[in-house]
Amino acid sequence: MSEPPRSRFRSILRWTLPAGLALVLLPSWILFLSGGMLAVAGWIALLLAGLALGPLSLLVLVVHAIRKRRFSPPMRAALVLGLVALWPGLWNVGLLTITFPYSLETSEPSATVRLPSNETLRVGWGGDRVATNYHASTPDQRWAYDLLVEPAGHGSEQLEDYGCYGTTVVAPVSARVHMATDGAPDHTPGQVSNDLENPTGNAVVLRLEAGTYLLIAHLKTGSVQVETGDRVQEGDPIGGCGNSGNTSEPHIHIHHQRQDPRRFPINFAEGLPLYFRDHDGPPMPVGGFDVDSAGGVVLTGDIVQHAAAAR
């Protein structure tokens, strides 16, 4: 005997949840791995799915398991897909992150500039991997750097206890100032400020000859010395190192991206490779840290200094 229509309908209905999850996840992952702005769109879709569909589908599965006291094949499939959906949601809080799938070898154009300071710099975050550069998990900051001046990483709540605070930040390349902002406060260091309304804080954006953009962020309030439209020469002072924006301690943040930061907010642009020249280290210095037995942070990133400043 053939299966009654109502029974067939119920069988189909049981596959609704896993089928719905698959219809969202598969295109999102395809976009994520496609490169360019399609990858950014896929990344956003995966984050949203992780925040909404992942927890919701798992909640439905828990309720179903409690009511039915069994786990059918459709529910097992939904469990797997629900966990896959939940995974990108964890990226929002820095858990189980992966390197954003832009390739260093195929992403172009790259930019090669001098260091944005004459100080001896410790690379807090930098490089091509999440292990040495937590920025590498996001599209626009794929090859961003956080540059420190020691003492750093000690957790003090006093801005003046950080070697970077107030030091001069210079133009890494001759270019037109595409955007310059000032007036954002320097936050108390020692903890993440969670300034999501103005994550870059006081910042200077330079438009490079290739038509791409170099963003230098977290400058000291009241220190920005250039205005939109100015022409700066490499090495000219543009501001001071501060702790404005979404940051935890004074440092110089710098990254290279394709799209105009005035039109594409933070995390919604294509990051491009950024290299440094004329210094005593590798073109793409790496960052990182360890934790000692007492729970303190030990900075392990490269130490670099502009060649002319080291003489």
Sequential DSSP letters for 105-148: TT----EEE--S-SS-EEEEE-SSSTTT-GGGGSSTTTT-EEEE
The pLDDT tens digits of the residues spanning 210-234 come to 999 999 999 999 999 999 999 999 9
With respect to residue 222, please indicate whether it lies within any of the assigned structural domains: yes
Higher pLDDT, 253 or 8: 253
With respect to residue 98, please indicate whether it lies within any of the assigned structural domains: no
- Could you tell me if 73 and 140 lie in one domain? no
With respect to residue 23, please indicate whether it lies within any of the assigned structural domains: yes
- The tally of CA atoms less than 13 A away on the side-chain side of residue 61 is 24
With respect to residue 102, please indicate whether it lies within any of the assigned structural domains: no
- Which whole-number Å values give the CA distances from 196 to 138, 201, 223, 244, 252, in the listed order? 15, 10, 22, 11, 18
Is residue 6 pLDDT above 80, yes or no?
no
Backbone angles phi, psi at 135, to 5 degrees: -60, -25
Backbone angles phi, psi at 37, to 5 degrees: -70, -20
- Could you tell me if 85 and 189 lie in one domain? no
With respect to residue 294, please indicate whether it lies within any of the assigned structural domains: yes
SS (H, E, C) 167-196: CEEECCCCEEEEEEECCCCECCCCCCCCCC
Task: Domain of residue 85: give its range.
Answer: 5-91
The pLDDT tens digits of the residues spanning 42-90 come to 999 999 999 998 998 888 888 877 877 777 888 889 889 999 999 999 9
* Rounded distance between C-alpha atoms, residue 192 and residue 265, angstroms: 20
- Could you tell me if 220 and 252 lie in one domain? yes
Arithmetic mean of pLDDT, 268-285: 97
Write the CATH number for 185.
2.70.70.10
- Could you tell me if 64 and 123 lie in one domain? no
- The tally of CA atoms less than 13 A away on the side-chain side of residue 68 is 11
Question: Beta-carbon neighbour count of residue 128 at 10 Å?
Answer: 17
Is residue 7 pLDDT above 60, yes or no?
no
Is residue 295 pLDDT above 90, yes or no?
no
- Which whole-number Å values give the CA distances from 188 to 82, 94, 111, 162, 220, in the listed order? 39, 22, 33, 12, 12
- Could you tell me if 86 and 146 lie in one domain? no
> How large a percentage of the chain has pLDDT more than 70?
95
How many independent structural domains does the chain possess?
2
- Could you tell me if 134 and 247 lie in one domain? yes
- Could you tell me if 165 and 84 lie in one domain? no
- Could you tell me if 33 and 117 lie in one domain? no
Is residue 195 pLDDT above 80, yes or no?
yes
Q: Is 53 exposed, middle or buried (0-12, 13-18, 19+ CB in 10 A)?
A: buried
Query: Would you state the pLDDT for residue 112?
Result: 98
With respect to residue 186, please indicate whether it lies within any of the assigned structural domains: yes
Q: Which of helix, strand or coil describes residue 254?
A: strand
C-alpha 100: how far from chain center: 9
- Could you tell me if 278 and 140 lie in one domain? yes
- Could you tell me if 63 and 175 lie in one domain? no
Q: In the predicted model, what is the mean pLDDT of the chain?
A: 93
With respect to residue 181, please indicate whether it lies within any of the assigned structural domains: yes
Is residue 181 pLDDT above 70, yes or no?
yes
The pLDDT tens digits of the residues spanning 92-104 come to 888 999 999 999 9
Bridge partners, residue 115, by sequence: none
C-alpha 173: how far from chain center: 23
**pTM metric for this prediction:** 0.92
- Could you tell me if 71 and 123 lie in one domain? no
pLDDT tier, 1 (very low <50, low <70, confident <90, very high otherwise): very low
- Could you tell me if 172 and 276 lie in one domain? yes
List the structure tokens of 185: 């406060």
With respect to residue 96, please indicate whether it lies within any of the assigned structural domains: no
